[in-house]
Amino acid sequence: TRDGTPVALPHGATAVDFAYAADAETAGAAVGMLVNGMRKPMENKVVHGQVVQLVTGPALYPPDSWLTTARTGQAKAHIQQALARRDAEDASARGRAELVGALAEHGADLLDLEADGTAFSLCRRLGYTDLDGLYRALAVAEVTMDTVLGRLLPSSDQADQV
């Protein structure tokens, strides 16, 4: 921990487990560790009595490989949550990009539809709490592009396809 308090870990625990036990907030940004002053990878096992210091970087999310590296339920749960957030954000960005392209083909700009509240009104009418939810739904084909275009552009020929 930051104040030097020992961290109890089960036998076979790795630096990934240590990172989440010591500080779950910054663990996902860990890129390595110092064990007794020597740089080691996060997959390295830690043992009782070692002095471990995390090396953090700009990473926002842990790598997928940490799920198999982690030995404790706490670390695995945090990693699964972080990876789910990452995947949701990626899907939202993909869905938004697809919508931007589709709207551009009809001469419309998503930024304008977001700014005037039209996009948000649609997302609420379709049952999503926020625009990211709507964009994620587009990316995973939970809602079709034709449905969204038909409701965003009711005066276009897309309205007949809804």
| Residue 114: both structure tokens together | 């977001």
How far apart, in whole angstroms, are the C-alpha atoms of residue 125 and residue 44? 50
pTM metric for this prediction: 0.78
Q: Band of the pLDDT at 155, cuts 50, 70, 90?
A: low
Q: Residue 113 — left, alpha, or beta (φ > 0 → left; ψ -120 to 50 → alpha)? A: alpha
Q: Tell me the three state secondary structure of residue 120.
A: helix
Q: Band of the pLDDT at 1, cuts 50, 70, 90?
A: low
User: 82-97, pLDDT tens digit by residue?
Assistant: 999 999 999 999 999 9
